[in-house]
């Protein structure tokens, strides 16, 4: 098993643990909140909202795992390409007088459509991963807010100005 496969396996396991833990926490929250605070059918802590959130959380963590895997692959592809070009140009790079000349040799060797495509793939994977992380972060904040509403005496003051 390669290092990448090991990392993927570990990452997948960690994601599963995280999802299970979040689902357990939310399920615990759902029980005492039912119909206690007088909110509407989709108000804070209602079973409907908790159920929706559970679905969103599972989807968000699955997406986070998938985007992380794609990002690792895209980074690996860029690294592999650069390494191959360095090996191909090793004679020129060894003969280069200094770092600047070596940098220019490498820049020219990497000035190809294939390299640009790999960089673009990597950038796209980075953005997808960032978006997936932001979605998990958003859901964590929503859960935190939901807890405020369901905690005894913890409902937010409606007249409070947060700005």
> Which parts of this chain interact with another protein (CB under 8 A)?
43-44, 100-101, 104, 107-108, 111, 119, 123, 126-127, 130-131, 134-135, 137-138, 141-142, 144-149, 151, 154, 156-158, 160-162
For another protein, the closer of residues 77 and 102 by Cβ is: 102
Name the minimum Å distance from CB 3 to another protein. 28
Name the minimum Å distance from CB 91 to another protein. 17
For another protein, the closer of residues 13 and 130 by Cβ is: 130
Name the minimum Å distance from CB 30 to another protein. 16
For another protein, the closer of residues 28 and 157 by Cβ is: 157
For another protein, the closer of residues 18 and 109 by Cβ is: 109
**Contact criterion met (CB below 8 Å) for 30 and 47:** yes
Vertex 74, ends 68 and 78: CA angle to 5°? 145
Name the minimum Å distance from CB 6 to another protein. 30
For another protein, the closer of residues 8 and 136 by Cβ is: 136
Alpha-carbon radius of gyration of the chain: 24
Contacts 24+ apart (CB under 8 A), 58-65: 58/19, 58/23, 60/132, 60/135, 60/136, 60/139, 61/15, 61/18, 61/19, 61/22, 61/136, 62/15, 62/19, 63/132, 63/135, 64/15, 64/129, 64/132, 64/133, 64/135, 64/136, 65/11, 65/12, 65/15
Name the minimum Å distance from CB 76 to another protein. 20
């Amino acid at each position: 098993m390669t290092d990448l496969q090991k990392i993927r396996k570990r990452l997948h396991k960690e994601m599963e643990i995280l999802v299970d833990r979040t689902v357990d926490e939310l399920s615990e929250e759902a029980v005492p909140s039912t119909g206690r605070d007088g909110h509407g059918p989709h108000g804070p802590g209602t079973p409907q909202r908790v159920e929706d959130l559970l679905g969103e959380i599972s989807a968000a963590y699955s997406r986070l795992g998938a985007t992380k895997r794609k990002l690792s692959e895209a980074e690996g592809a860029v690294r592999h390409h650069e390494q191959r070009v360095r090996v191909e140009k090793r004679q020129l790079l060894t003969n280069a007088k200094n770092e600047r000349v070596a940098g220019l040799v490498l820049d020219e060797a990497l000035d190809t459509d294939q390299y640009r495509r790999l960089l673009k793939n990597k950038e796209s994977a980075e953005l997808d991963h960032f978006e997936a992380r932001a979605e998990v972060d958003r859901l964590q904040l929503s859960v935190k807010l939901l807890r405020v509403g369901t905690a005894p005496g913890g409902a937010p003051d409606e007249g409070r100005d947060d700005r």
